[in-house]
Amino acid sequence: MSAVADRARQVRRRLGPPRSWAGRVDAALTAPGPGYRLVEVQTLLSLLIALRLLGRDWTRIADRPAELTGGLTVVSWLPPLPAAALVVVQVLGVAGVAAVVSRRLPRAGYAVAWSSYTVLTALWGESGKVMHNDVLTVTVGAVLLFASVPGRGRSGGWSVRWGWPPRAALAVLATVYWLTGAQKLRHSGPEWVLSDNMAWVLRQGAVGHGAQVAHWVADHLVVSQLLAGGALALELTAPLWLAVRRTRALFAVAVLLMHTSIWWFLGLDYSAWVLTAAAVAVPMSLRPERRLVDVVRRRPAPPPAAPERPTALTPAGDAALPAPR
């Protein structure tokens, strides 16, 4: 038995068996986890936020006429911001990401980065229809605002307070995807797949280099229905994919394929959704003792650790010894 499994068994024995399905879910979400996994997920989400902050000219918000703003968002109470103020918010967000990556002030830096990103995306979406491109990143990223993040040089331990945030991010990721599928069924029912709905979407929305293929799919009803059914099935089964460690990376690949096809056919950029899913699901698909940096650098997996003597646990369920490297 590895040291990781030994610690998990100690915590389960200390807390006792869950009495209900809700208790079993809670026990799974709040089990101890390695600090470096939380650092990986937080760092990847922060880098994605920086990419989004730097990839758009946010000063265009200030150029919009007042008649085209005023949509209901979380920042509707703010007065119109001049271009200089928007740049300041952008710079603060990037500086927050730098604080996370350097591990100097990871928790405060992440809060600044996420808040800046949320403010700018909300202001961007105040005109007309709410833009969904950044919704998943903002929603999943909000979980880590409540996380107690290990500081510089303290990412090797094993703790409940470091185990729940990545799992909660997985749960939110699964919930958002499930809701997108459930909303399709709520508004359209099975006809969203079984009718010519997708065919008309492709005919009316096809753009650019993918238009020819999109029209071919639209002209073959069975193919368009299979495309719609595959997307709906992926969304509705997201909780199942993400509940199992071995299928989490496969979910990230499936999401990449689905959103790439949407971009190819319709020109809609959901790259932030793809990268958010990867930032959470890929690290959480690794064995607890396996670090993401080891996978990237193709280092061999560490041998199983020898059984350890039982260690004392803190009231929060933290193991006294660090997790195996």
**Backbone dihedral region for residue 20 (phi beyond 0: left; psi -120 to 50: alpha; all else: beta):** beta
Which of 95-104, 241-250, 257-266, 306-315 is predicted least confidently? Answer: 306-315
For the chain, the average pLDDT equals: 84
pLDDT at 53: 97
Task: Mean pLDDT check: name the lowest of 151-165, 186-200, 283-297.
Answer: 151-165
Both tokens of 65, joined, read 């006429």
Q: Measured over all CA atoms, what is the biggest interatomic distance in the chain, rounded to whole angstroms?
A: 69
With tokens 């590895």, the residue in question is: 2
Q: 136: Cβ–Cβ under 8 A, 6 or more apart, which residues?
A: 173, 176, 272, 273, 276, 277
Give me the half-sphere count of Cα atoms (radius 13 Å) on the Cβ side of residue 70.
4
Average pLDDT over residues 83-111: 95
d(CA 88, CA 81): 11
pLDDT for 325 = 39
Residue 125 has pLDDT above 90, yes or no: no
Is residue 166 pLDDT above 80, yes or no? yes
Residues whose CB is less than 8 angstroms from the CB of residue 142 and which lie 6 or more positions away in sequence, other chains included: 114, 172
Which pLDDT belongs to residue 319?
45
Among 100-109, 291-300, 308-317, name the most confident range.
100-109
Rounded distance between C-alpha atoms, residue 39 and residue 45, angstroms: 10
Instruction: Specify the higher pLDDT residue, 313 or 231.
Output: 231
pLDDT band at 29 (very low <50, low <70, confident <90, very high): confident
pLDDT score at 278: 97
CA 304, 307, 313, 316 torsion-angle sign:
positive
- 34 membership: H or E segment, kind and range: strand 33-34
Round to whole Å and give the CA distance between 224 and 193: 8
Distance CA 215, CA 244 (A): 37
Q: Token digits for 196? A: 């010519």
In the prediction, which pLDDT does 276 show?
A: 98
Checking if the pLDDT of 256 tops 60, the result is yes
> Could you tell me which residue, 233 or 25, shows the higher pLDDT?
233
Cβ 92 vs Cβ 116: under 8 Å: yes
In the three-class reduction of DSSP (H, G, I as helix; E, B as strand; rest coil), residue 158 is classed as: strand
Q: Which of 134, 76, 88 is nearest to 112 (CA)?
A: 88
pLDDT at 180: 95
Q: How far apart are CA 218 and CA 202, in angstroms?
A: 6
DSSP track, 279-294: HHHTGGGS-TT--HHH
Share of the chain above pLDDT 70, in %: 82
Q: CA-based Rg of the chain, rounded to a whole angstrom?
A: 22
Residue 207, pLDDT above cutoff 90: no
pLDDT band at 160 (very low <50, low <70, confident <90, very high): confident
Alpha-carbon span 99 to 70, nearest angstrom: 33
Q: Quote the pLDDT of residue 323.
A: 42
Predicted pLDDT at 175: 97
What pLDDT sits at residue 118? 95
Q: What is the rounded CA–CA span in Å between residue 170 and residue 178?
A: 12
Choose the weakest-confidence range: 27-41, 58-72, 235-249, 253-267. 58-72
What is the structure's pLDDT at 156?
64
Give CA angle at 215 (211, 220), nearest 5°: 150
Least confident of 53-57, 59-63, 167-171, 244-248: 59-63
Q: For residue 315, what pLDDT is reported?
A: 40
Domain spans in the chain, listed from the N-terminal domain onward: 33-155, 159-289
Residue 183 pLDDT exceeds 80: yes
- As a whole number of angstroms, the distance between CA 284 and CA 40 comes to 9
pLDDT in tens, 41-94: 999 999 999 999 999 999 998 888 776 676 667 777 778 889 999 999 999 999
* pLDDT of 306 over the 80 cut: no
Is residue 150 predicted with pLDDT exceeding 50? yes
Residue 19 exposed, middle or buried by CB count within 10 Å (0-12, 13-18, 19+): exposed
Give the C-alpha distances (Å, rounded to integers) separating 61 from 56, 57, 85, 123, 292.
Answer: 11, 8, 11, 7, 38
Q: What is the pLDDT of residue 198?
A: 93
